[in-house]
Structure 1
Amino acid sequence: MRKRPVSAAGACLALTALTACGRFESRPEPPGAAIPADVPSKPTYTTAKAVVRALDRAGIDCQSLRARDYDGSSTADCVATVDGVRVENEISVFDPDVVSNSEIGTSIESRRTGAYAQTLVAAGNWYIRVMDPPSAPAIAKALHAVVLDAKGKGTKTPEYPLPDIPSTPTYKKADDLADDLAASVGCFQRETTSTGSIKCETGKLGSGSTDCAVLTLHPTHARRDAALREAIKYRGVPAELVTAGNWTVNLCDTTLGAKAARDLGGVVVAYDGR
């Protein structure tokens, strides 16, 4: 059977969108947000594990929890101790041959805005979500990067100051705090997180009504207050915490705060989410 010749026009139509008949055209930069101007262009890394190693060389041992490599990006989660606080970090590294600057900028913008706006450390082709914002400057300094604070859009820092917080009681172990919370509003099915906090269920076993609590010990009052302000800043997200001394209890059930504060000798720090 005789093959039908392909016309020059047909051959041109068969080429991909990245080419034109007789010549190649560069791919246009997709629309999106620019990387913030104060983000330095270096250092760059090929994988998220390389960022973990860079932290270690700078004196911040970040123990890897998990790592994943994809086509165009690499991620890792690790836990470091910064100023006595165990901090979880989410690392994202992008391949510039696959992911454009505007796509990285859009990703940064989306993380810094919204109801759950995040604090980032960024440089080159990567950024880190720092779960404990007060630790971000130390991590940025170690990696020659900058801190990108969560933006005001979608978030609201309450206008009222923190209440007077009693200096006692204090605890040496989070489990001791959990025991006292258990005697007040319940704290069972305990789970210790990677950062040393305790998650547990409140309510009473068999009552058919349970909810959650997160218990955290803090090395300084400044760290405690920073954690309180971080917890109550999100617009649209009600928060109820009990605190005193060196600890905070973040309660999912906002009706339990007054009783827990009375029984544990603390005060309530709350935000209605508006």
Structure 2
Amino acid sequence: MKNTAASAAGACLALTALTVLTACGRFESHPESSGTAIPSSVPAKPTYTTAKAVVRAMGEAGLDCETVRSRDYDGSSTADCVATVDGVKVENEISVFDPDVVSKTEIGTSIESRRTGAYAQTLVAAGNWYIRVMDPPSAPAIAKALHAVVLDAKGKAATPKYPLPDIPSRPTYKKVDALADDLAASVGCFQREATSTGSIKCETGKLGSGDSDCAVLTLHPTHARRDAALREAIKYRGVPAELVTAGNWTVNLCDTTLGAKVARDLGGVVVAYDGR
């Protein structure tokens, strides 16, 4: 699935600029003079010793975030958690750095590498930590809860190449399973799996035919949230995207040849990006 690939690549982007592992290994300290400064807008506090402490702080601020996974390393601590922001389940990747091991410029370099390039990300940051917010419209609420700032994705990757088409207001769905049933009638939706944010992942095509592929089906509480999700999906340079949407839903297809048929059968329109 395209978004999954983008997420995985993004999770290790910072490592190309550092001899570190946030989600994938260990930090080795470097001289303070090397690297990029932390943006001046990032406040010096609050600081935390672990990613779990950030999760606790979110809860104390009224933004409970259920931990999906967490791990501590020499020099860094990471956690993934899911919070509900304005009725939307939002996945967050938290990275906390030990200032005795990781210099400020190393943190700045990590921040810069995540905000730029093909997989540019939206971050919330303060002190010795930052959070990759998977749903950028939710970032201001998370920043407010943690007395931090939002660092938007930068450059070409922050702006989709194509504007969104006119999107039909119907059909709408009350449950994502009903959308999955309609997709199944169109191109298949096998081996369904619920995600932590309430979406459904499934396989299209006929099982055993060798042409099955993945799809991610999501319901959105507002049209603005839907449009933000579409723009997030098509912004990655070098990563082709094929989605079908209408009403309150999106279907993100790994097989870019299926868009027209799904749109016709489900009454939606195709939102596509060729990755260039």
Q: TM (normalized to structure 1)?
A: 0.88
- Residue by residue over 1:88-116, the C-alpha shift from the partner in whole angstroms, topping out at 9 and shown as x without a partner, is 11111111111100110111111111211
In 1, the alpha carbon distance for the partners of 2:222 and 2:84 equals 14
Q: Which residue of 2 aligns with 1:178?
A: 180
Q: Where does the alignment leave 5 or more consecutive residues of structure 2 unmatched?
A: 1-29
Identity %: 89
Alignment check: 8 A CA contact 1:157 1:234 kept: no
Matches within 5 A, 1:211-226: 211-226=213-228
Q: Answer with 1 or 2: which has the greater Rg.
A: 1
Distance 1:28 1:214 in 2: 44
Match of 2:45 among 42, 46, 53: 42
User: Cα deviation per residue 1:105-148 (whole Å; 9 max; x = unaligned)?
Assistant: 11111111121111110000000011111110100010010011
Are residues 1:191 and 2:193 paired?
A: yes
Distance 1:203 1:229, change over 3 A: same
Q: Does 1:60 align with 2:63?
A: yes
Residue pair 2:233, 2:241 contacting (<8 A) in 1 also: yes
Aligned to 2:80: 77
Shift of residue 30 of structure 1?
4.2
With over 3 angstroms needed to count, the CA separation of the structure-2 counterparts of 1:28 and 1:111, relative to structure 1, is closer
CA change 1:265–1:137 in 2 (3 A) is same
- SS of the residue corresponding to residue 169 of structure 1 reads coil
| Other structure's SS at 2:238 match | coil
Specify the SS of the correspondent of 1:38.
Answer: coil
Look up the equivalent residue of 1:152 and give its one-letter code.
Answer: G
Cα distance between partner residues in 2 of 1:133 and 1:93: 20
Q: Structure 2 CA distance, aligned partners of 1:200 and 1:157?
A: 29
TM superposition shift of 1:156: 5.9
CA contact (8 A) 1:243 1:269 kept: yes
Distance 1:104 1:159 in 2: 30
How many residue pairs are counted as aligned between the two chains? 247
Distance in 1, matches of 2:158 and 2:46, equals 33
Which one of the candidate residues 244, 247, 253 is aligned to 1:245?
Answer: 247
- Using CA pairs below 8 Å that are at least 6 residues apart, which structure has the higher relative contact order? 2
- Deviation sequence 1:244-274 (CA, Å, 0-9, x none): 0000000011110000000001011111111
CA contact (8 A) 2:194 2:200 kept: yes
- Could you tell me which amino acid in structure 1 is paired with residue 53 of structure 2? A
Q: Measure the CA separation in 2 of the matches of 1:46 and 1:159.
A: 40
Deviations 1:18-70 (A, max 9, x none): xxxxxxxxx94241011011000011111111111110011101011122111
Unaligned runs of 5+ in 1: 1-26
**TM-score of the pair, normalised by structure 2:** 0.87
